[in-house]
Amino acid sequence: MAAYGLYSHIQSNRRRSIALLIGLFFLVFVLVYAGALVAAALSFDADLNTLMQIAWSDLLKAAPFATAGTALWIVIAYFFHQTMIDAVTGGREIQRSDDSRLYTILENLCISRGIPMPKLKVIDSDALNAFATGMNTKQYAITVTTGLLGRLNDAEIESVLGHELTHIRNGDVRMMIIAVIIAGVVSFFAELIFRLWFYNGFSFRSSRSDERRGGGAGIAILIAIGLLIVAYALSFLIRLALSRSREFLADAGSVELTKNPDAMISALRKIEGRGELPGATSAVMEMCVDNPRDGFGELFDTHPSVEKRITALVKFAGGHDPGPIALPPPTGELEDEQSGAESPWQSEEGATTSAGSDTTPDRGPWSQPAAEPEPTPSPGPWGPHRS
């Protein structure tokens, strides 16, 4: 994670990512083979070896269609993934005239390192989070929440933007989106096979006696189920591994861009536990600076814990950890609380007025001077009197 070894880590990470994604793509063919094996077991009276040969033959016939379907899925996601993400999160693109502060911070970062300026998007949410999307230079975009803009200072915002720029520079964003796309294909094929089997398989199987199956059908179906489970689990775990391994590098890249490890640490402390985007899918949350959605222990967490990331920044970047940072409630909640609660002076004033007292209520040392009373009488509970 040290700056001098950052680029070697990036290259190694890219090679591992490509290898993992190639393996993830071939999981589609594993699922097709599992489906073919189930179909053969439900259709033919043969031993296990014969059923597996039939399934392999069916796989070769179906491979072009599976490849074309997966490629079509990828093409659609390539061109329309940002539109789908914006529809889910409510992100909107902004220009300098909309938020000169945010736009200038990102522009200065890009100019200082010769990085093409990505699009800038904002989500109206009290959550503190940000994420990057895109498959190429023309599509790259960084999205931040209004909650993050309201709670972080300029140096911390710069660190978060540097974190997301590093994801773009390292190719992490492209890899993550491809992984999500392929994992979506795997999930689709797995669910399709399960549905076909459960809706048609049992009734189809019941119309045939066990004597006609040659003893291999049951084992073939168990193998197919095992392949489905393994393929789905691997696609999920590979997605998580891609996300986890990149967050440390993105934190280090942010420090390299901004030369300010303390700002990155304080930004993580403020974001910690406050990044949940209502309505966002798990795929979107996996691309965020922090994903507060926990898995089983740390096995299924998509991000390293904030503590581990800060520990790495302190150890390798020389940052200082201020510890957990308490933040006031969002402005809207604070105004609601203030409007709903009465101050001690308001309570005293209300009690005096309701009692019909002729004296002015006591006021605190910070209260405004009392206004001159109006000369017109106002009716009280015991008859007219002057205020």
Active site residues: 164
For residue 56, give every residue at least 6 positions away whose Cβ sits within 8 Å of its Cβ, in sequence order, or none.
Answer: 33, 36
Q: Is 114 exposed, middle or buried (0-12, 13-18, 19+ CB in 10 A)?
A: exposed
CB 260 within 8 A of CB 158: yes
**Closest among 130, 58, 136 to 89, alpha carbons compared:** 130
Helix intervals (H) in 259-281: 261-271
Rg value, the chain, Cα: 30
DSSP 33-55: HHHHHHHHHHH----HHHHHHHH
Q: Count CB neighbours of 361 within 10 A.
A: 16
For residue 104, give every residue at least 6 positions away whose Cβ sits within 8 Å of its Cβ, in sequence order, or none.
Answer: 96
For residue 80, give every residue at least 6 positions away whose Cβ sits within 8 Å of its Cβ, in sequence order, or none.
Answer: none
Compute the distance between CA of residue 265 and CA of residue 275 in angstroms, rounded to an integer: 15
For residue 369, give every residue at least 6 positions away whose Cβ sits within 8 Å of its Cβ, in sequence order, or none.
Answer: none
CB 55 within 8 A of CB 33: yes
The 3-state secondary structure of 287-353, one letter per residue: CECCCCCCECECCCCCCCCHHHHHHHHHHHHCCCCCCCCCCCCCHHHHHHHHHHCCCHHHHHHHHHH
Q: Lay out the sheet containing 119-123: strands in order across.
A: 92-93, 119-123, 141-145, 130-133
Buried b (16+ CB within 10 A) or exposed e, 303-327: bbebeebbebbeebbebeeeeeeee
Dihedral of CA atoms 254, 259, 261, 266 in degrees, nearest 10, equals: -80
Q: Count CB neighbours of 5 within 10 A.
A: 12
For residue 12, give every residue at least 6 positions away whose Cβ sits within 8 Å of its Cβ, in sequence order, or none.
Answer: none
